[in-house]
Amino acid sequence: MDNQKFDEFIKIAKKLNDIEIIPLLMGSVGLEIITGENWEAQDLDIHVPGDKRGWEVPPEISIYKWIDIVNIMESMQYSLIDLHEHEFSKEGLSVEFGILDTLPNFAGVKLEDLEMHQKENVQYYLLNPEQYLNVYEASSKDSYRADKNNNKDFRKIDFLKYMTYNT
C-alpha cells in the first residue's frame, strides 16, 4: 500500500477543508485504504462538490470553487496540465479532481450514505466496499476507461464482490 500518496491526499484535503470542502478519496488509493490491498495506485483521484451534470458542463465551471482549488494546488507546486480532466501534476504525481455530485446518477451511490473519516483533524470521505463495487461496475461499462485501465477494474470488481458477499 502506498502511504505516500495517501499522505499527499491528506495534505490536499486539509487545504480543501480550509475552504469548506470535504473531499472524497476515490480510485486505487482509496481502495487500498479500505481493503488493505496494494492496487498499484498511479495517481490520486479526489472528488469534490460540483455540477451533477458532469461532462455536460464546461470544465472551468463544473467543479464548485474551482478557482480556489487551482490556487490551492498551485500553492502546493502542482501545475494544471489538463483542464478537461481537472488534472494537476507535480514530480510525477497526477492528481485528478472529479465531481462528487455525479455519483448518484453514475453509480447509484447516495451522497448522504458516504462515510466521513478523519485523520490529523482532516475530514474526508471514503467509499465502503459495496459503494466501490457500484462505481467500478459502472466504470467498467465505459469503453474509454476500460481501454485506459487495461481491465484492472475487473480484478477490483472480483475482489470487491468477494469482499462484499463473503463477510
41: helix, strand or coil: coil
Query: Are the C-beta atoms of residues 2 and 41 closer than 8 Å to each other?
Result: yes
Residue-wise pLDDT tens digits, 132-154: 999 999 988 765 545 555 567 78
Q: Quick one: three-class SS letters along 109-163?
A: CCHHHCEEEEECCEEEEECCHHHHHHHHHHHHCCHHHHHHCCCHHHHHHHHHHHH
Query: Are the C-beta atoms of residues 105 and 56 closer than 8 Å to each other?
Result: no
CATH annotation of 3-165: 3.30.460.40
Q: Is the pLDDT of residue 125 over 60?
A: yes
Burial 56-75 (b: 16+ CB within 10 A, else e): eeeeeebbebbebbbebbee
Q: Residue 18's closest CA among 122, 112, 92, 102? A: 122
Residue-wise pLDDT tens digits, 43-72: 999 999 999 999 899 999 999 999 999 999
pTM, to two decimals: 0.90
Query: Are the C-beta atoms of residues 32 and 129 closer than 8 Å to each other?
Result: no
Q: What is the pLDDT of residue 55?
A: 87
d(CA 122, CA 105): 28
d(CA 124, CA 9): 10
Using a pLDDT cut of 90, give the percent of the chain over it.
Answer: 80
Terminal-to-terminal C-alpha distance of the chain: 22
Query: Are the C-beta atoms of residues 27 and 95 closer than 8 Å to each other?
Result: no
Dihedral angle sign, alpha carbons of residues 108, 150, 88, 132: positive
User: Which region holds residue 33: left if phi is over 0, alpha if psi is between -120 and 50, else beta?
Assistant: alpha
User: Which region holds residue 10: left if phi is over 0, alpha if psi is between -120 and 50, else beta?
Assistant: alpha
Which band of pLDDT confidence, cut at 50, 70 and 90, is reported for residue 103? very high
Residues 5-9, mean pLDDT to the nearest whole number: 97
